[in-house]
Amino acid sequence: MRFQFPSWLGLIGMCGLISCGNTEEEPITGPTQISLDAPDYFPSTIAMPTDNPLTAEGVQLGRMLFYEKKLSADGTVSCGSCHQQQKAFSDGNQFSFGVSDSIGDMNSMSLSNLHWQTKFFWNGRAISLEDQAIQPIEDEREMNLPIEEAVNRLQADAKYPSLFKNAFGTSEISSNLIGKALSQFERTLISANSKFDAWIRNEVELSPEEQLGLELFFTHPEPTLQLRGGNCSDCHIGFLTAGDSEGLAGFHNNGLDSEENLSLGLMEITGNSFDRGKFKAPGLRNIALTAPYMHDGRFQTLEEVLDHYNGHIQNNSTLDVLILEASNELPDGSGNVKLHLSDDEKAAIIAFLHTLTDQQFIANPKFSDPFN
């Protein structure tokens, strides 16, 4: 059974016949409402925005805009430049390159299952997918194009006014409609056909190593009970393996840096010193394809990531309590924060993470560049 979202009211055309000699006017129809093709084990608590229902025409337009290089100042960069399908919509670089070889200061986040997220970017600066879709266009380190110029370029393009008309009932293009179209396409980027999903559907068995990795992933360790765990799902929650899901935006300080080297993170948005060093916990779907890792791309491999959590946590004033209290051994009095996984346990967790790779997702022609 596929989960079906409720239908939403859209633009309904007035159908009728108007006599004029022997001629008849064509019925006027609105855009075609569609539903997200999501499994029934994904959360059902996130509603589609009432002012931006999903339509076939909106998704088609959004896909074109996602790959449209005219939305960058010099016509060389699109959203798809930093979010490449074969890399699960990341780009493989520590920091992404924008127009004129400008470079950002954050790792490009993978894009999937975005409908179930509520805050966007590593520091949570966008509170809707529609808002998130617009910001890179104007960012001087990315596409560096004033949104008014983006609107003018699309308005002057022979193909776009009619596409906006089909999707939104008006050929008058606006920044608001650009954001709506992009976000409609991005909502369809659903990854739900990995080996892990097949296991959830009782279609396959995991190997013993993968099964151990799954159990460790979803277990918070408790040494007093001899309960061993990897502590991963405390931040990467549920079947989505995402920190920001079911309406809960997960931001954490995961001990990357000492007190004096902490980045602002979420504090840049909230102004609250308690949020210093906190960044969004990303979804881990297709994580084996999206290196390098962390908000600043400092780790090249999953092995490096596990080594960090296992023995290199930097204690600081805003370190997440979920990490501070997670260990497979009783405290030794040193004050060091370590997970104390064995080499075999780390390898098992990595084996499980590879079961999150969705080959169908990265090859789906519905998500590909329509200009190629």
Neighbours of 39 (CB within 10 A): 15
Position 11 pLDDT exceeds 80: no
pLDDT tens digits, 337-346: 999 999 999 9
In the Cβ-directed half-sphere of 153, how many Cα atoms lie within 13 Å? 18
Evaluate the CA torsion angle 174, 175, 180, 186 in order and state its sign: positive
Report the mean per-residue pLDDT for the chain.
Answer: 91
CB 265 within 8 A of CB 253: yes
Gap between the Cα atoms of 178 and 184, Å rounded:
10
Peptide bond into 292 cis (omega under 30): yes
**With 90 as the cut, is the pLDDT of residue 2 above it?**
no
Beta-carbon contacts of 247 under 8 Å, excluding residues fewer than 6 positions away, are 45, 46, 118
Least confident range of 26-30, 76-80, 331-335: 26-30
**pLDDT for 44:** 85
Q: Residues 107-132: pLDDT tens digits?
A: 999 999 999 998 999 999 999 999 99
The annotation status of 20 as a binding-site residue, yes or no, is no
Residue 79 among known ligand-binding residues: yes
pLDDT tens figures, 216-260 = 999 999 999 999 999 999 999 999 999 876 545 699 999 999 999
| Residue 15 assigned ligand-binding role | no
Q: What is the pLDDT of residue 28?
A: 52
CA angle 60, 61, 66 (to 5 degrees): 100
Q: What is the DSSP string of 245-312?
A: BTTB--EE--S-S-GGG---BTHHHH--GGGBTBEE----TTGGGS-SBSTT--B-SHHHHHHHHHH-
* Predicted confidence (pLDDT) at residue 42 exceeds the cutoff of 90: yes
pLDDT of the residue at 358? 98
Question: If you search the block for the tokens 């976000």, which residue do you land on?
Answer: 183
Which pLDDT band holds residue 46 (cuts at 50, 70, 90)?
A: confident
Residue 102's pLDDT is 93
Question: Looking up tokens 């129809």, which residue turns up?
Answer: 29
Give the pair of three-digit tokens for residue 163: 């596409």
- 115 assigned ligand-binding residue: no
Give pLDDT, residue 248. Answer: 53
Domains and CATH numbers, the chain: 2-191 (1.10.760.10), 195-356 (1.10.760.10)
349: number of CA atoms within 13 Å, CB side? 24
pLDDT of residue 185: 98
User: What is the pLDDT at residue 45?
Assistant: 83
Looking at the predicted structure, is the pLDDT value of residue 1 above 70?
no
* pTM of the complete model beyond 0.75: yes
Residue with tokens 């007035």: 14
Position 26 scores a pLDDT of 47
Q: What is the distance between the alpha carbons of residues 82 and 96, in angstroms, rounded to a whole number?
A: 6
Q: Which residue would you say has higher pLDDT here, 332 or 304?
A: 304
In terms of Cβ atoms closer than 10 Å to its own Cβ (0-12, 13-18, 19+), residue 183 is buried
- Predicted confidence at residue 333, as pLDDT, reads 81
Check residue 249 and give its pLDDT.
63
d(CA 245, CA 236): 9
Residue 71 has pLDDT above 80, yes or no: yes
Parallel, antiparallel, or unpaired: how do β-strands 251-252 and 2-3 relate? unpaired
Residue 232 labeled ligand binder: yes
Report how far residue 3's alpha carbon sits from residue 187's, in angstroms, rounded to the nearest whole number.
15
Q: Is 148 helix (H, G, I), strand (E, B) or coil?
A: helix
Question: Residues 139-172: pLDDT tens digits?
Answer: 999 999 999 999 999 999 999 999 999 999 999 9
Structure-model confidence comparison of residues 46 and 214, the more confident one: 214
